[in-house]
Amino acid sequence: MSDDQPITNGDALDQLRGQYAELAALAGSLAHEIKNPLSVIRMNMDLLAEDFASPQSPRERRALSKIEMVGRQCERLENLLNDFLRFNKVGRLDLHLGSLNDQIERVLDLFVPQAASSGVEIVRYLDPDLPSIRLNGETLQAALVNLVKNALEAMPDGGQLVARTRVTRQGVALDLIDTGCGMDERTAMKMFDAFFSTKSGGSGLGLPTARRIIEAHGGRIGVHSEAGRGTQFTLEFPTPARIGE
């Protein structure tokens, strides 16, 4: 392109996409580089903790307490890096026809023991005639795990989690409705922002990653919440066009 030719919106957008892709690749490489020495630090802190497993003096007890504190911070950083790498790598997915009902069933089954121990009733209203969608089972289940886990954590004293699938004009939808603590308007508006978290030690990447996964399926996610009453997440996915349409 010559210097006197105007830059179009398309050219600028392509340039921004290239810069973003380069930055994302650099950030991913940096995260991997940080993980390696961090793993070595944590391993050695675990070995030190074993050496002080039976402290005999106040000095040894103080040393063990500091070692355990460093170990916990290393674990927190490792979890943050893992969450970031998952967030960073979500892009184009290999999609195949599959059942949304099957995906949410498998995820709910994983949480049955936890729900029972917390006094949470899981209710399933899954449309048996739900059309198939194009999906990647591994990544979609990761997004659903995050949403169900958040719902259960919002009901530490018990409650009800409803999973409902239904047909929409554009495709199919999954509603996840809990009777938990809910969120205020500010939290609901920021919940999909990267690194925003109301949990102590949370990375703030779980929900942003879930949204990226759903959008990579051609879908979208919405939320309605009211403090003290509960939260509803709605995931909408397109169904493949029929042959001849």
The 10s digit of each residue's pLDDT in 23-64 is 555 556 666 667 778 788 888 888 888 888 888 888 888 888
> What's the fold here for domain 96-238?
Heat Shock Protein 90 (3.30.565)
The percent of residues above 90 in pLDDT, for the chain, comes to 32
The pair phi, psi for residue 34, each rounded to 5°, is -70, -35
Residues of each domain in the chain carrying CATH 1.10.287? 9-89
The reported pLDDT for the residue numbered 163 is 96
Pinpoint the residues of the chain covered by CATH 3.30.565.10: 96-238
Burial class (CB in 10 A: 0-12, 13-18, 19+), 97: exposed
* CATH of the domain spanning 9-89, picked from 3.30.300, 1.10.287, 1.20.58, 1.25.40: 1.10.287
Q: Considering only 9-13, 38-42, 212-216, which range has the smallest mean pLDDT? A: 9-13
pLDDT band at residue 242 using 50, 70 and 90 as cut-offs: low
C-alpha span between 236 and 168 (Å, rounded)? 8
Does residue 78 sit in helix, strand or coil? helix
pLDDT, one tens digit per residue, over 131-165 is 999 998 888 888 898 899 989 999 999 999 999 99
Query: Coil, helix or strand for 102?
Result: helix
More reliable by pLDDT, 92 or 100: 100
* Cα three-residue angle 129-134-137, rounded to 5 degrees: 95
pTM over 0.85: no
Burial of 221 (0-12, 13-18, 19+ CB in 10 A): buried
Backbone angles phi, psi at 242, to 5 degrees: -75, 150
